[in-house]
Chains A and B, each alone.
Chain A
């Protein structure tokens, strides 16, 4: 009962968050919506017996990415005054109806395409006995230092590279 409750609340949070990201004209609000959406996804992970993933999702997105996004918004002059400097094809920064329609259309086409590939999974996947909840932290830890150790190390290098790269790129230069 707890897990169903959790699932549906997370489901709603995710769906509505995603919809708000699409629908909001305000960039900051879109960010908040994204946070909600990602929080929902974390909840979904929790219901999927992916406790570690859930926590990671929280740590990385809530604590890192979203704040970064907000910072970027602030540092680039907020959401609304980002206009096309050259005045060509004067589309508002957050798009207008035309772009929205176009986006929804292409999103739908792409989604349908993916659906076309994966419809078998939807329809008849091999139903199995689904085990109960159990801790995955130890197993993930084991996997990370055994089977996936190379990927783990590479990802650490990737993060380091991203860290340094971001710092270097964003550093203001004397003109």
Chain B
């Protein structure tokens, strides 16, 4: 197929045009606007599908498309400075596109159900379209700058959607928190871009890969100077760290994870799309894109630790949440932690696969939760109920939602044959593989496995509390209607839940053991196509302008084959394989353990959770307060630190500097005036000037007599003088 502005650009442009059009018409033609949004994303989905199928046909790991156009040209004088923008699609991008458009489309559909009764039904779709277009633009970006632009646009959409219910003050707080926290990461991201730009000359991915391949970063440092002291940080580390900060912010990693739970203030579909499936995953996507840089900067362990801490820590907080969306939010953080952990331990493919699988099942979980919440309408407060303690036994009333959610729970908890098992346990397996590299690698591995256990526990806890047992709020339960299948409420859930099976992503149900079975090999498509970018492969790479007809489709690419040895030596590959198998088995037990514990507590009710909380009350309080991190940030750093600094500076500026230094000049001047005035008044005026005046007064007295005011006297004087003058002339 050919790649033109119509086949590729439209993927981004369709939702964007929908956004533009809807901005204008949304007030009058709400239904039409919704239709436009949904059609646009469906169109994008079809185009993405087309690209995806093309990539599948080619089936080559190094197949990619790179089209550029000139965006900025600052050349002038003898200076040259050109910034190009473009589209870069490789296998990872094609999969990402399909995932984003697919999930987004389904969420659009679900939103027509969920948001229908909202006063700002249309506006929600406006934001959704903008967000989708930004996300697609990000996926299509060929360079970090445009990546950053779309990244920030998504941040803006996230901000707007979190603050969607602007009547609530908490929504405002949450939206600021989300935007500002991610922006901390963004600022570092921008710094990373600048650092790369300073050596590479631009920030196109391909150029960066090539630069790394040419060992361009070796020996380069970022020189931070403080009053003459120069600290040289290796540039790759500096840039990689800075860009990873972007990931930390966007993907809610420790220590910037605080915003994501609060982001649940937004409507549930937006939580599903933005704060579960796509935007938060974009952070991971960035790190995946910049994986060579991370490697070059030796950041693996750091990344792994961050990911591990996030995965485990978030899971612990999720244990005690009672709000169904909060549980899902923490589980999202936790799962993102797994992805980052995957990047850290070098499990590039699995991290990306987990990104995709997580997007599918977490979107489905959120939508299911949304479906539940929407059904539970409190007639006293006229609000929807999100608290799990008031649910229970919903299985009978909401069978479709229940089954969709059940599949997804199985997927996220890593039940065998489900997608979560395939992706997450590969990450954990790779973490285990790293154990031989030193004791320090035990920490991320343990955190990862521990998190997996907790995940299984809290997810099933959520399921049991929600769907099983007796309804705890009888009135609420009686008021809700029994669910009938509806296309926009249940169909998206079911479609998504279909894709929670591991077989879609992997040739085996386990993804591990039977990879070597002949004939099934090529079905390991994911692992075959998505491989670490080989930085030496980009040396002769050329960008193509849009105008040029793409001949790449005519080129013959060698079809890739699954490399079960992961490109390692045989002995090493053997070891890795063994570790993977052991890891998979451990994972299954961990899943079962978590499930069992949840059943003991909430299904069979053998164990009383209350006893556990009182036994570990210190930890319980810590978990309730989210490890006091919000308090640290808001109460101490911002309110005690930043705001006081601000007030002090503002006081310094206006109260001290302006009042005394600037206006003081005026004071000094006025003293000078006073001295001058005294001199002027006393010496000059009184003595010199008035003295002159006094002498004039004497003449005045004499001359006054002539000025009698009698006109005839004047006439007479005139005549007198005239006559006298003429007579003395003697003519």
Contacts and interface: CB of A to CB of B under 8 A. Distances in A.
Q: Answer yes or no: do A and B interact.
A: yes
A68 interface: no
A97 B716 CA distance: 17
Interface in B683-731: 716, 719, 722-723, 726-727, 731
Contacts of B726: 113, 116-117
B710 to A, nearest CB: 9
B731 A117 contact: yes
Contacts of B731: 116-117
B132 to A, nearest CB: 78
Contacts of A117: 726, 731
B719 A110 contact: yes
A105 to B, nearest CB: 11
A109 B718 CA distance: 13
Contacts, number: 16
Give chain A's interface secondary structure class: helix
A56 interface: no
Interface string A90-131: 000000000000000010011001001100000000000000
Nearest to A103: B712
B727 A116 contact: yes
A51 B727 CA distance: 37
Nearest to B725: A113
A113 B727 contact: yes
Contacts of A113: 722-723, 726-727
A110 B719 CA distance: 7
A151 B719 CA distance: 28
A106 B727 CA distance: 14
Nearest to A119: B731
Contacts of A106: 716, 719
Nearest to A118: B731
Contacts of B727: 113, 116
A106 to B, nearest CB: 6
Nearest to B715: A106
B723 to A, nearest CB: 5
A116 B719 CA distance: 15
A103 B521 CA distance: 143
Nearest to A99: B712
A60 to B, nearest CB: 25
Nearest to A106: B719
A113 B727 CA distance: 7
A116 B730 CA distance: 9
A106 B716 CA distance: 8
Nearest to A114: B726
B268 to A, nearest CB: 80
A109 B719 CA distance: 9
Contacts of B716: 106
A130 to B, nearest CB: 28
B664 to A, nearest CB: 54
A118 to B, nearest CB: 10
Contacts of B722: 110, 113
B712 to A, nearest CB: 9
Interface string A57-101: 000000000000000000000000000000000000000000000
Nearest to A102: B716
Nearest to B716: A106
Interface in B98-136: none
Nearest to A107: B719
A117 B723 CA distance: 11
A82 to B, nearest CB: 15
A109 B716 CA distance: 11
Interface string B195-222: 0000000000000000000000000000
Interface of B: 716, 719, 722-723, 726-727, 731
9 contacts: A106-B719, A109-B719, A109-B723, A110-B719, A110-B723, A113-B722, A113-B723, A113-B727, A117-B731
Q: What 3 pairs across the A-B complex have the smallest Cβ distances?
A: A113-B723, A113-B726, A110-B719
Given A109-B723, A110-B722, 8 more contacts: A106-B719, A110-B719, A110-B723, A113-B723, A113-B727, A116-B726, A116-B731, A117-B731
